[in-house]
Structure 1
Amino acid sequence: MARDLALALKNVPLRAPAPLFERTRPPRGILNSQIGFMRALGALACVFVVVLPFIDASRYTMSIATSALIYVMLSMGLNVVVGYAGLLDLGYIAFFAVGAYISGILTTTLGWPMWAALPATILACMLAGIIIGAPTLRLRSDYLAIVTLGFGEIIRITANNLDVTGGPSGIHGIPTWTFGGWSFDDGFTLGGIQFPPYVVFYYFVALIVVTVGVIGAGRLAKGKMGRAWKAVRDDEDAAEAMGINTYIAKISAYVIGAVWAGLAGQLMATHLSAISPNSFQFLYSVLILMAVVLGGMGSTPGVIIGALFVSLTPELLRDFAEWRYLIFGIMLIIVMLFRPAGLWPATAVLPWLKKKGRAEAPDFMEEPAEPSVMESASGLPAEMAEEGEGR
């Protein structure tokens, strides 16, 4: 009897138990889903960027908008380092300087076109990230912040004392982007509308920021590497105990952040056509870090909002003359008092999508019949089980 029952149980296929109740599907739509609303908001932002020159195409507006987009690029790179990996970097402006000076030297001294200097800028920033990050990323918290601050000042002082970087005068006459026989200085006409050079460069910067800065950093954060960064940020010891190579994770975040800053530095050098060591002071590292913290560390929309707030607010307050920075500081204090996690933190939920209480599970307190217990235990029909017991 026992042998027959064991043989019968051996040949019965195992089946997963059916769920007790059906799981509700995630909501969809713009107003019913967080993801849908964010995608719609991002699409509206892209439309606004495209339409802005048709609203106001003055040189001042385009210059401020281009600088704001470059700030967004910088903030997205620092968000990888600080927001995702949890590495407090106070010398992030050093990579911004490396990208600007490498592109400036190659295009003015060696006569390279700007597009040819782009791969060299990326490689130089990766090398700088490894050189600076390799010895420093074994440190944590305050010690890491102090060392990165020192490296940022070393890069600025070195550029101030080298002949190839122009010394205190910097590099002047940095050319714009050229493709074949056409350059941004020529502008172009589309649909009977003449687009001047500064408007064309604004579009170019917007294209790079949207594709590389925002989409690239967001996709990296959702992948395997991004999960490793967040694990290191939350608890480095626990992440290492779970098998994550924390040193590789940190240095990869540092190198990627350096590449983002280098691209922004090359765009800024082309935008201003001149750079000097005074353009890379410690204050700018603080402003970029302020944009990340103010917007919400680890949040892509929050970092964009923070970068726009930090870059545009002083310009909007220009009518207050010498009082504008005082007003700007007061605004920062008010924001941090009422929104300590940032204007749009990574855990933000739209007000009309606040999580409600869990739905109560159906009542399964009824006593099951004895045959069904035997059936669930053996996987056999109740009649077969009873026949086995009779034998």
Structure 2
Amino acid sequence: METPAIPAPEAGSAVPASLRGILPVMLALPVLALFQWLMSDAPFASYLLSVVGVNIILAVSLNIVNGMTGQFSIGHAGFMAVGAYIAGVMSLNLKEVALSFLPVAASDQVFFVASLLVGGLAAALCGFLVGLPSLRLRGDYLAIVTLGFGEIIRVVVQNTDAFGRALGLSGIPQTSTPAMVYFWVFLTVLVARRITGSSHGRSLWAIREDEVAAEAMGVDTTGYKVRAFVISSFFAGIAGGLFAHFVPIINPGSFTFVKSMEIVVMVVLGGLGSTTGAIVAATFLTLLPEGLRSLFSVLGAEGSLAQRVDQIRMPVYGLLLVVLMLARPQGLFGTKEIWDVLPRWIPRKRKGLA
């Protein structure tokens, strides 16, 4: 088994400790503002990039559980559904409310962020309630529990009037923007990287490598697994809330077992434990259907064949997994990050040379 590359604690830094936590956010905000300005006249590109961003959040958050902790959850779409429906219902109830001391657009964004946080917290609560008893299980048993949770959520929303039953929720304010989506992508990746380099992350890696040995060394394995599960569920709920605010309608068909497996495929394809691997795989697998549509259009297959792209997507995913597991069982990056792999391809300067 490949040994995970655990980052060592950083040495002294020129950045004051008081600014070290907020500095990445301060640097990201102007970049996101420029990104939003560039996307303002490209609605289809904005929609497609928003879907990519949501899938990155889902893949990176699931990687905290499946990759870093070594558990096997296949019900991530259930937590996404909780966040989507709770945030959607809250936005529907607040869309006529405005803060008089703020412009209308700013007021809408305040309520949008509040709805996202409520949806994320609801998903985190579900993650705690599911994880506390079930994370004492291992392997296939945990997978069955998370699968059952995802199906329970789907059946509940299908039979609840407040959630629109099988028809779903429509009329949710379309207040999500690409900048907002990628702000949460940035936060999710930042949290995942901070966890990896912390003592909490080293405990998760220890659980992944040998849970019995970790427990013998005094690691509270159940406690750490539950915390990782709650963090992962929170960001899945945020992803669901973002998704609900840029699609015309959300319905139970968007959160089935197939969606959960898509996220698992992204994590496995990128490499279990690799944050950047999850990002690359989520981006590639989200853009793949659009690439196939464009290819069929160029070949003149604009009729029934082009319409079947979504139907052949999962077989293509399956074929990719088979090929990958045969050629590189550890995934694209294994447990390494992209910056750990790139130097092998880029010629290095010799020591002592300018």
Regarding TM over 0.5, the answer is: yes
Structure 2 gap ranges (5+): 1-26, 98-110, 297-305, 346-354
Structure 1 equivalent of residue 101 of structure 2: none
Moved more, 258-267 or 335-344: 335-344
Q: Which amino acid aligns with 1:99?
A: G
Structure 1 equivalent of residue 13 of structure 2: none
Q: Confirm or deny that 1:117 pairs with 2:130.
A: no
- SS in structure 2 opposite 1:311? helix
The 1:75/1:164 distance shift into structure 2, 3 A limit, reads: same
One of 168, 172, 180 as aligned partner of 1:204: 180
- SS in structure 1 opposite 2:161? coil
The 1:327/1:286 distance shift into structure 2, 3 A limit, reads: closer
1:48, distance to aligned residue in structure 2 (A)? 11
Q: Which amino acid aligns with 1:248?
A: G
- Kept in 2, the 8 Å contact 1:114–1:176? The answer is no
One of 296, 300, 308 as aligned partner of 2:271: 296
One of 330, 333, 350 as aligned partner of 2:322: 333
One of 198, 201, 205 as aligned partner of 1:226: 201
Q: Confirm or deny that 1:67 pairs with 2:51.
A: yes
Structure 2 equivalent of residue 383 of structure 1: none
Q: Which amino acid aligns with 1:257?
A: S
The 1:52/1:317 distance shift into structure 2, 3 A limit, reads: farther
- Kept in 1, the 8 Å contact 2:60–2:188? The answer is yes
The 1:99/1:299 distance shift into structure 2, 3 A limit, reads: same
- Kept in 2, the 8 Å contact 1:90–1:285? The answer is yes
Q: Which amino acid aligns with 2:181?
A: V
1:284-323 paired onto structure 2 within 5 Å: 284-319=259-294, 320=296, 321=306, 322=308
The 1:63/1:345 distance shift into structure 2, 3 A limit, reads: same
The 1:315/1:56 distance shift into structure 2, 3 A limit, reads: farther
1:341, distance to aligned residue in structure 2 (A)? 1.2
Q: Which amino acid aligns with 1:163?
A: D
One of 171, 174, 186 as aligned partner of 2:172: 174
Structure 2 equivalent of residue 149 of structure 1: 147
Q: What is the CA–CA distance in structure 2 between the aligned matches of 1:57 and 1:338, rounded to whole Å?
A: 42
- Deviation string 1:83-108 (CA, Å, 9 cap, x unpaired) is 11111001111110000011111111
Q: What is the CA–CA distance in structure 1 between the aligned matches of 2:36 and 2:75, rounded to whole Å?
A: 33
- Kept in 2, the 8 Å contact 1:73–1:209? The answer is yes
Structure 2 equivalent of residue 270 of structure 1: 245
Please tell me the root mean square deviation across aligned C-alpha atoms, in Å.
2.7
Structure 1 equivalent of residue 18 of structure 2: none
Number of residue pairs the alignment of both structures matches:
289
1:351, distance to aligned residue in structure 2 (A)? 6.4
Relative contact order, higher structure (CA 8 A, sep 6+) = 2
Q: Which amino acid aligns with 2:169?
A: I
- Deviation string 1:314-337 (CA, Å, 9 cap, x unpaired) is 111114323653555444433333
The 1:328/1:75 distance shift into structure 2, 3 A limit, reads: closer
Q: What is the CA–CA distance in structure 2 between the aligned matches of 1:52 and 1:271, rounded to whole Å?
A: 15
Q: What is the CA–CA distance in structure 2 between the aligned matches of 1:285 and 1:350, rounded to whole Å?
A: 28
- Deviation string 1:337-365 (CA, Å, 9 cap, x unpaired) is 322211122246436559xxxxxxxxxxx
Q: What is the CA–CA distance in structure 2 between the aligned matches of 1:63 and 1:55, rounded to whole Å?
A: 10
- Deviation string 1:102-128 (CA, Å, 9 cap, x unpaired) is 111111135462222233223212211
The 1:110/1:54 distance shift into structure 2, 3 A limit, reads: closer
- SS in structure 1 opposite 2:136? coil
Q: What is the CA–CA distance in structure 2 between the aligned matches of 1:103 and 1:134, rounded to whole Å?
A: 24
1:313, distance to aligned residue in structure 2 (A)? 0.8
Structure 2 equivalent of residue 192 of structure 1: none
Q: Confirm or deny that 1:254 pairs with 2:229.
A: yes
Q: What is the CA–CA distance in structure 2 between the aligned matches of 1:50 and 1:213, rounded to whole Å?
A: 20
- SS in structure 2 opposite 1:146? helix
Structure 1 equivalent of residue 23 of structure 2: none
- SS in structure 2 opposite 1:272? coil
Q: Confirm or deny that 1:343 pairs with 2:295.
A: no
- Kept in 2, the 8 Å contact 1:314–1:328? The answer is no
Structure 2 equivalent of residue 370 of structure 1: none
- SS in structure 2 opposite 1:88? coil
- Kept in 1, the 8 Å contact 2:64–2:228? The answer is yes
Q: Confirm or deny that 1:99 pairs with 2:83.
A: yes
Q: What is the CA–CA distance in structure 2 between the aligned matches of 1:274 and 1:301, rounded to whole Å?
A: 31
Structure 2 equivalent of residue 77 of structure 1: 61
Could you say which structure has the larger radius of gyration? 1
Structure 1 equivalent of residue 129 of structure 2: 131
Q: What is the CA–CA distance in structure 2 between the aligned matches of 1:55 and 1:352, rounded to whole Å?
A: 33
Q: What is the CA–CA distance in structure 2 between the aligned matches of 1:209 and 1:150, rounded to whole Å?
A: 28
The 1:49/1:161 distance shift into structure 2, 3 A limit, reads: same
Q: Confirm or deny that 1:243 pairs with 2:243.
A: no
One of 141, 157, 160 as aligned partner of 2:158: 160
Q: What is the CA–CA distance in structure 1 between the aligned matches of 2:343 and 2:113, rounded to whole Å?
A: 46
Q: Which amino acid aligns with 1:105?
A: V
